[in-house]
């Protein structure tokens, strides 16, 4: 099993809808989780960090962590075309970040 697994998508949502991105992780991954956004040809940009069970909200983004189920998710409310990108889930372990393969999101105007 890979340390961090994501549904590679692609995921398409209409403008204004909620986009839901999901990620599971193995026992090798510790307690800190991050969501990065990566536009085509660019480097990953950190958008959310979550360390505790439950929800964390920042503007239109909500990260959810369920340690018992080893599950992390990212909700994007009121999706905009500018949200179209690949979203990478990452978790820490052994002094490094383990990344999923990313989920490609397209927001349709």
Contact residues toward another protein (CB under 8 A) are 4, 30-32, 34, 36, 42-46, 49, 51, 88, 90, 92-102
CB nearer to another protein: give 20 or 30. Answer: 30
- Least distance to another protein, CB of residue 79, Å: 22
- Least distance to another protein, CB of residue 17, Å: 25
3-class DSSP state for residue 36?
A: strand
CB nearer to another protein: give 12 or 49. Answer: 49
Residue 25 CB-half CA count within 13 A: 26
Distance CA 32, CA 41 (A): 27
CB nearer to another protein: give 29 or 107. Answer: 29
β-bridge partners, 54: 65
- Least distance to another protein, CB of residue 42, Å: 7
Which residues lie closer than 8 Å to 42 by C-beta, 6 or more apart?
none
């Amino acid at each position: 099993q890979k340390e961090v697994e994501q549904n590679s998508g692609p995921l398409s949502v209409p403008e204004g809808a909620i986009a839901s991105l999901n990620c599971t992780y193995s026992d090798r991954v510790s307690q800190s989780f991050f969501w990065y956004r990566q536009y085509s040809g660019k480097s990953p940009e950190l958008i959310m960090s979550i360390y505790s069970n439950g929800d964390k909200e920042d503007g239109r983004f909500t990260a959810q962590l369920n340690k018992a189920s080893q599950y992390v998710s990212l909700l994007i409310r009121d999706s905009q075309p500018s949200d179209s990108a690949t979203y990478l889930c990452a978790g820490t372990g052994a002094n490094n970040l383990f990344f999923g393969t990313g989920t490609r999101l397209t927001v349709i105007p």
